[in-house]
Structure formats: structure tokens, C-alpha cells
Structure 1
């Protein structure tokens, strides 16, 4: 039991440590860390319970907004704020439309997670967001196909999308930087 707890705690630290190693101590690191900290717990929670809790998404979103705002004020550059926030809003609106159309196939937590990932990846280029979305869609489609082929699911089975949003986001960050 203690070993499981230690391994679980260490697994929560892997992504934040990778971010620190890749980007050193830069503003990019500061913006990515809140998302890195909640990524693994969100991924596990969505796979286990098909939920993306607000208690994890909201603090990471607020922390990221504070970091981006503070840096924009420090640099006297509104673009540092407006670009990531604009990209987050676009991600949110597109996912909101999907949420309204899908009627249960896409959760409200996914919409909020798309805002957070849009905000986080918004410090890079729009191509990062597009790549992350493509990776997420391909990942969830592949996962669903494997479940169907192995008869672990039927056409009525719902598949959590959050883990694939997270994995797609990190693939875009790690592959294109």
C-alpha cells in the first residue's frame, strides 16, 4: 500500500519535471507547470470515473491566467495576454459547439479542459493547438476502434475524451518545441 502511494506520488511529478528539464526556468515553464501538475490526475480521474473535476481544472486555469497576466504587465505587452486568451476562447467555443451538438458524447469537463489546454498552448502558435486537437481526435478514435475490435466495448460505450486532450496537448508541446 505504501509503495503504491509512493509510486503514485512520483508519477504525478514526471510531467512537471519533464517540463522543467525541457524549458529550464523560463516563462514557458511557468505557463506550462499548472497544466503539467493537473494533467496526470485529470487523465486518471477521467479514465476511472469519466469526470474532469472543476476542483482540478479551475485552479490550474486561474494560475495560468495569473502567470500570463503578470508576465504581460511586466513586459508591457498586451499580446502576451491576448494571444493565449484568444486561443483559449476559440478552443472553448469550438468545443462548446461540439458539446451542444453531441448531446452526451462530449462532456462539460471536456469543454473546460479545452479552454485550459487552449490557454496553455496559446503561448505557442495556433499550429500547436491544431496539432493537439488532431492528436486528441486520432488518439480517441484509435482507442475506440481497439475497444470495438477487442469486444471490450459496443457502439453505445462512451469513451473519456479528456485523457486524449491532455495527451494530444503534451505531444504538440514536446514534438514541436
Structure 2
């Protein structure tokens, strides 16, 4: 454990670099349900690729030209409809913090690499769901298979502290539980949450059934506290839909941190 500060520093650097590349993906994915992924930057230029800033190089050139022009004006109607452009420093800071926390809890065990690879995906999912209440299929559908494949590799390495079969069963169990909730109350539970729950069940299941239950409970508790707070301050009613993905992810993070520390 003497080298842990170096591991945490490396995790912070990784998280900051990965988080700084998320704004373009967040901008492209943050569209209402039923619409195709955004293929134009906020200024209308073709947006290529999924990693990097939300604004392209042409945007920066036009912004400089407009700033230098005394006749430049802003179309208020266009500005109001401008696509989502998340803050790269904020995403970098959040991802770096999560990676540092995961490293401190997990130590140098091989599953740490899995958590560090999945952390930026979790941040991206939370950001998009908070913005448009949508969990993109290109992120949620491969999440469980990728997590299980990576954990399978980690299980082959010495000093790992989890169980691959429990991760598989955890994915099936948590996914089935959320699917049941979706069938009971489709208006209160989106199917995107069901797909995300399968991946989170795999992650939590690595450290055992108690961690699966803890992570699931923490997610519902955080969601209930948030929804109750909105009702108290009269910013929402009892039937107001809220994005549940961030709370599912936060609960999974809490369970994962506790499970990693206890392993």
C-alpha cells in the first residue's frame, strides 16, 4: 500500500483525461427520445466523431471573428435552442474524483482496471439522463457484456477479490427486478433503466449478493430523497417523472465502494 498515492494520482490523471473527452458524446446523445443522435455542432457544422469538445474548430474560428466584428449580433431564437454543451472541466473533475475514489477503495487488485474503464461511461450516462431523461442504447446494451467480459479477464489474474459467476447472476437478478418494476409501473420506470440495471448488477455482483442488495437499495433511497426534496420545495409533484439513471448509478457506486473496501 506504500505506492497507493501514486496509483490514486494516476487514476486522477486518467479520469481527468477521459472526462475531458466526454462533452461531444454528451452533446450528440442528449436529444429527446425518438430523435436521431445529433450530427451537428451548436453552430450547425457537421460534427464528426464522439470524443472531444462539443464545439468544433469552425465554431472557435467563427466565435473569434464575431468577437472582432462590431456588427456581430446573436439570434436569440437560435441561442435558446442551442444543443447541450456540457462543461469539459466539470466532467473531467467529476470523472477524476470517481476514479480516485474507486482506486482508494479497490487498491491494486486487477478489477480496478474494469472500474476505471467503466467510470467515464457512467458519468456520460448520468449526464445525458439528467439532461433529456434518456439512457442511450449504444451505451446501455453493451454495458453488461463488456463488464462481464472484463471481469472474466480479471478473474483469471491473481489477487482478484470477486466472483465472476456471482457477477453474472447479479446482472440477471437486478435486470429481472427492474423489469418487474417496469411491468408494474411503466410510467415510473423507463426501459432504459432496466437495461442499465443489468450492467450495474454485473458490477455489484462481483463482490457478492450483499453488495447487489446494498447498491440497489442505495439507488432507490437516493432517488426517493431527491424526489421528496423536489416535492417539498414545490418544484415537482408526486407524479412528476425524474431521471432515475443517475441514482441507479450512484447507488451502484456506493455499493461498489463499500464492497471493494470490505473485500
TM band (smaller chain): 0.7 to 0.9
For residue 33 of structure 1, report the CA deviation from its aligned partner: 2.7
Number of matched pairs: 174
User: CA–CA distance in 2 between the matches of 1:71 and 1:19?
Assistant: 16
Is 1:142 aligned to 2:225, yes or no? yes
Give RMSD over aligned pairs: 2.4
User: CA–CA distance in 1 between the matches of 2:90 and 2:251?
Assistant: 24
For normalisation by structure 1, the TM-score amounts to 0.85
Q: Where does structure 1 lack aligned partners over 5 or more consecutive residues?
A: none
Q: Which residue of 2 aligns with 1:120?
A: 203
Q: Which residue of 2 aligns with 1:162?
A: 245
Q: Which residue of 2 aligns with 1:81?
A: 164
For the structure 1 residues 13 and 62, does the alpha-carbon distance in structure 2 shift closer, same or farther, using more than 3 Å as the test? farther
Check the 8 A contact 1:31/1:120 in 2, yes or no: no
Q: Which residue of 1 aligns with 2:14?
A: none
Of Structure 1 and Structure 2, which has the larger fraction of its residues in helix? 1
Check the 8 A contact 1:83/1:122 in 2, yes or no: yes
For residue 72 of structure 1, report the CA deviation from its aligned partner: 4.2
Structure 1 or 2, whichever has the larger Rg, is 2
Is 1:18 aligned to 2:110, yes or no? no
User: CA–CA distance in 1 between the matches of 2:165 and 2:90?
Assistant: 39
Aligned with 2:147 (options 49, 64, 79): 64
Query: Which deviates further from its counterpart, 85-94 or 12-21?
Result: 12-21
For normalisation by structure 2, the TM-score amounts to 0.59
User: CA–CA distance in 2 between the matches of 1:80 and 1:93?
Assistant: 20
Q: Where does structure 2 lack aligned partners over 5 or more consecutive residues?
A: 1-54, 61-86
Query: Which deviates further from its counterpart, 52-61 or 100-109?
Result: 52-61
